[in-house]
Amino acid sequence: MDRTGSLPIDDTLSKALLAEIATHGGTRNFPAHAILINEGDATDSLYIVLSGRVKVYASSEDGRDVVLGEHGPGEYFGELSFDGGRRSVSVMALEPCSCRVVQGAQLREFLAAHPDFALHLALKLSRMVRRLTEQVKSLALQDVYGRLVRLLMELSEPVGSERLVKQKLTQQDIAERIGSSREMVNRVLKELTTGGYVAQRDGRLAILRKLPAAW
């Protein structure tokens, strides 16, 4: 809980917790496209994003990636290494970013001394399991169109009579997030654009009207 006694509602650390954990570890800067964590690594550091954004992804043996999420300022990643296992995902900087890097031993001491952070971590892991469960269900039960619509609705917000995706996404970005090929995403978006359902707004996708239930 934070100082007011309320439960954290998202994955962003409070200013108080950020200030307290800032005395542990050191700050590292990374250029855009730098790999912060490699899948299979045996490291156990926790990374707290101070500025910039990173993406979390897993790769197949043939080089295909699936994006599992993104993190921005106040959020953190690397917590799954607490069990002593190897890293299960890779993390790449989407833009120049700065992170506070706390080694595993220091982090365990911090957890013991700060129950607020331990609770925040437990809730974050619970939300992560829920998100990944929904992702697995989507991959197993929905076709490419259904997964694309679900992603667009999750990432967009109402702007007047339309919905605008909050970030600029390439077709490859979308393909990696929904477990599809760029060519298939291109085909679906082209048909939606022709049908007057979506359009580009300064490099971001806009949903002009309710998307069909199926395509």
Residue 109 lies in a domain: yes
- pTM listed for this prediction: 0.68
Domain boundaries, position 159: 143-207
Residues 36 and 113 in one domain: yes
Choosing from 117, 140, 163, the residue where a domain stops is: 140
Q: Give the three-class secondary structure for 38.
A: coil
CATH code, 175: 1.10.10.10
Residues 154 and 135 in one domain: no
Q: What pLDDT does 157 receive?
A: 94
Choosing from 118, 140, 162, the residue where a domain stops is: 140
Along the 215 residues of the chain, how does pLDDT read in single tens digits? 444 455 556 678 888 888 787 777 889 999 999 999 999 998 889 999 999 999 999 887 777 888 888 999 989 999 877 777 889 899 999 999 999 998 888 888 888 888 888 888 888 888 888 888 887 777 776 899 999 999 999 999 999 999 999 989 999 999 988 988 999 999 999 999 999 999 999 889 999 999 998 87
In the chain, where does DSSP find H-type helix? Answer: 15-21, 104-113, 115-141, 144-155, 171-178, 182-194
| Cross-strand bridge partners of residue 49 | 99
- The residue whose two tokens read 């045996």 is 42
Q: What pLDDT does 135 receive?
A: 76
Q: What is the DSSP string of 56-94?
A: EEEE-TTS-EEEEEEE-TT-EE-GGGGGSPPP-SEEEES
Residues 147 and 123 in one domain: no
Q: What pLDDT does 141 receive?
A: 65
- The residue whose two tokens read 């917000």 is 157
Q: What pLDDT does 1 receive?
A: 47
Q: How many domains does the chain have?
A: 2
> Which residues lie below 8 Å from residue 117, measured CB to CB, with a gap of 6+?
13, 17, 20, 21, 110, 111
Cβ atoms of 84 and 51 closer than 8 Å: no
Residues 98 and 191 in one domain: no
Residues 135 and 150 in one domain: no
How far apart (Å, rounded) are the C-alpha atoms in residues 82 and 182?
35
Residues 38 and 134 in one domain: yes
Choosing from 140, 155, 176, the residue where a domain stops is: 140
Residues 128 and 148 in one domain: no
Identity of residue 177? R
How far apart (Å, rounded) are the C-alpha atoms in residues 169 and 184?
15
In the sheet that holds 90-93, the strands lie side by side as 35-37, 90-93, 54-59, 65-71
Q: What pLDDT does 44 receive?
A: 87
